[in-house]
Structure 1
Amino acid sequence: MNKRILITSRSFGQISDEPLGMLEAAGYQVDFYNRDFDPTEFENKIGDYQVLIIGGHEFPAKTIKRCTGLELILKHGTGLDNIPLKAAREAGIKVCNAPGTNANAVADLTFGLILDLARRISYADRTVRNGEWKTVTGCDVFGKTLGLLGFGAIARNVALRARGFSMKILAYDPYLDRIPDEFADFVTLAHKDLVLAESDIFSAHLPLNEETRHIISAGTIEKMKPGAFIVNTSRGGIADEQALAVALVSGKLSGAALDVLEREPLSAQNSLRDLDNVVITPHIGMYSKEAMEAVSMICAQNAVSLMKGEPLQFCVV
């Protein structure tokens, strides 16, 4: 019997037909469930499939019990915080992601948000559309100090972009004891407190786990340079949004740009919603044509490898 694959990622195969064609050519029966997602319906469906290509929706650990035939979970992206890895391991289900495929896309967005905050581009656009024509004063990015929280693939690409703006680049990464050689000339590895104290712009690039949840907190912000900017394109739970809002209103921070929130989509009650010094984008970091195609291809290749009994790429469980 042919294996069945369920695709719940909304962006799989959106750029070309090649990833879907690979699955069908390998003999998979392919079904999509990526619109009007309902957790209960997903739980009822998943037991009929051997492979899942999953996006950002939750996959509760209890649902693993329904996955009697599931062999492989493929994350259409990098972050694994929505997948119950321990439960999958105990059930003998392999889990793979697609790291690095979105590094340039997220780095581009990150640096775009840095420029937006510093020059108040989005704010100026809003004032013009509201019928005003007034001077909006920002600040230079050139020559400023950029602090990177984490120094993985995305942060390294941000550093490459920042180098072109002659920025002083400090990086804190609890998993590194030295900067890779190719970055040693222009990036300094430093203690988190030093990065906080000296950075004009602070950009988060860490996975979300129990150690990193709310690593940007009231205490963290208090250690930052007055008037600094915060950018988060990693995971929403990295930042305590209430503490962030307080600092933005008080003027402790000049601005923040967020591509991710603790709860998505943005709610009407979110205290960041109406602040003029906040830029919020709808979790679009990986959504470049190049990144979307690359991650779809890796997922398809891994599914084909499972069918052929070949080694999997980027297997984390």
Structure 2
Amino acid sequence: MATVLTTSRAFATCYKAQEVLKNAGLDINIITPSKPLQSDELVKLVNNVDAIIAGLDFIDDKVIKAASPMLKIIARNGVGYDRVDLKSASENNVYVTITPGTNSISVCELAFSLMTGLSRKVHLMDSYVREGSWKREPGIELFGKTIGILGTGAIGKNLALRCLAFGMNVIAYDLYPDKELIEKYHVKYVNDPQEIYQVADFISLHLPAVKQTHHMINKQSIDLMKKDVFIINTSRGELIDDDALYEALVTNRIKGAGLDVFTMEPFTDQRFFKLNNVILTPHSGAFTQEATEKTLIMAAKEVVRVLSGEKPLHPVN
């Protein structure tokens, strides 16, 4: 009987996804770590494993070789795969798959809620009421403001539609512009993110963590931005230089930031905890009942396909 290792904490309570594997006659080894597993931790778990349904774990060459030649597929529970060594996977005949579209609504809704929370300073006024104060904070409307969306895949596109519904001006950057956003919704695309930095009131990041995007938000890019800009990141922590962002926040060079993702998770940089112009959430963009179920079921179905001798629907290598 083939064995599937799952390291996504949500899998333990997603019975529909478990049924997909059980109905295919697969044995399931469910691990529920408190945080993403490092390579050295995974190496100890992958012996005689035919498939891995992975969360945000670090799956490098050592892990893949330790699981070879049994391992056939690494099914990512989500759309990011920067923590998986694609080169090693390909060399060892291991498919790496993702689950496109399953969490796009959930992530874009969190990005939007970070925007509204920051614009109305909800986090501050909540703390005042709890302390017995009736202090109010002046906010701003989203209506008429300009949002720059960097990356218009499923998440960025859904965010654009919601911003348009709120009467915002939407400009975007993507190597592959969305035809529908241009033709039906008249979203303006720019050729360089710098054009967004210079005019946007809100900047929302929806790009993968690759060499070209590493620390794209840095001192130089921040210097181009408006002083009342808000930066939202629900994509990958590696897109932002933390030191540059902290300096901009603490000096009020920018208005604020909403961060759901970080270079190191759990996030423990105490400097940010003392700031009142930042909202921090624990990489929870896709953590809704609906997205979790859809994502895990799709990942499980990819595992079944591959272990049945078929090709996966959403490979990235």
> Does TM, scored on the shorter chain, surpass 0.5?
yes
Cα offset for 1:187?
1.0
Write out per-residue CA displacement over residues 181-237 of structure 1, whole angstroms, 9 at most, x where no aligned residue: 344333100132221111000100000011111011111111111111100000011
Write out per-residue CA displacement over residues 72-105 of structure 1, whole angstroms, 9 at most, x where no aligned residue: 1000111101111111111111110111111100
Report the Cα distance in structure 2 between the residues aligned to 1:263 and 1:313, rounded to whole angstroms. Answer: 31
Q: Is the 8 A contact 1:147 1:203 kept in 2?
A: yes
Q: In the TM superposition, what are the counterparts of 1:157-168 in structure 2 within 5 Å?
A: 157-168=158-169
Matched position secondary structure for 1:148: strand
Gaps of 5+ in 1: none
Question: 2:86 corresponds to which residue?
Answer: 85
Which deviates more, 302-311 or 45-54?
302-311
Question: 1:66 corresponds to which residue?
Answer: 66
Q: Is the 8 A contact 1:154 1:205 kept in 2?
A: yes
Q: In the TM superposition, what are the counterparts of 1:48-197 in structure 2 within 5 Å?
A: 48-68=48-68, 69-173=70-174, 175-176=175-176, 178-184=177-183, 185-190=185-190, 191-197=192-198
Cα offset for 1:58?
1.5
Q: In the TM superposition, what are the counterparts of 1:201-220 in structure 2 within 5 Å?
A: 201-220=202-221
Q: Is the 8 A contact 1:179 1:189 kept in 2?
A: no
- Check if 1:10 corresponds to 2:9: yes
Q: Is the 8 A contact 1:179 1:188 kept in 2?
A: no
Question: 1:291 corresponds to which residue?
Answer: 291
Q: Is the 8 A contact 1:242 1:271 kept in 2?
A: no
Question: 2:272 corresponds to which residue?
Answer: 272
* AA partner of residue 82 (structure 1): R
Matched position secondary structure for 1:11: helix
Report the Cα distance in structure 2 between the residues aligned to 1:147 and 1:169, rounded to whole angstroms. Answer: 6
Report the Cα distance in structure 2 between the residues aligned to 1:299 and 1:36, rounded to whole angstroms. Answer: 21
Report the Cα distance in structure 1 between the residues aligned to 2:271 and 2:179, rounded to whole angstroms. Answer: 39
Quick one: percent identity of the two aligned structures? 34
Write out per-residue CA displacement over residues 261-314 of structure 1, whole angstroms, 9 at most, x where no aligned residue: 1111121x4421210000000100001111111111111111111232223110
Question: 1:316 corresponds to which residue?
Answer: 316
TM-score normalised over the length of structure 2: 0.94
* AA partner of residue 277 (structure 2): N
Q: Is the 8 A contact 2:60 2:85 kept in 1?
A: yes
Gaps of 5+ in 2: none
Write out per-residue CA displacement over residues 42-85 of structure 1, whole angstroms, 9 at most, x where no aligned residue: 31220210000010121232222211211110001111011111
* AA partner of residue 276 (structure 2): D
Matched position secondary structure for 1:5: strand
* AA partner of residue 76 (structure 2): K
Matched position secondary structure for 2:156: helix
Q: Choose the corresponding residue for 2:19, options 18, 21, 27.
A: 21
Report the Cα distance in structure 1 between the residues aligned to 2:20 and 2:250, rounded to whole angstroms. Answer: 51
TM-score normalised over the length of structure 1: 0.94
Report the Cα distance in structure 2 between the residues aligned to 1:270 and 1:279, rounded to whole angstroms. Answer: 13
Q: Is the 8 A contact 1:241 1:272 kept in 2?
A: no
Question: 1:248 corresponds to which residue?
Answer: 249
Q: CA RMSD in A?
A: 1.5
How many residue pairs align between the two structures? 312
Report the Cα distance in structure 1 between the residues aligned to 2:54 and 2:301, rounded to whole angstroms. Answer: 15
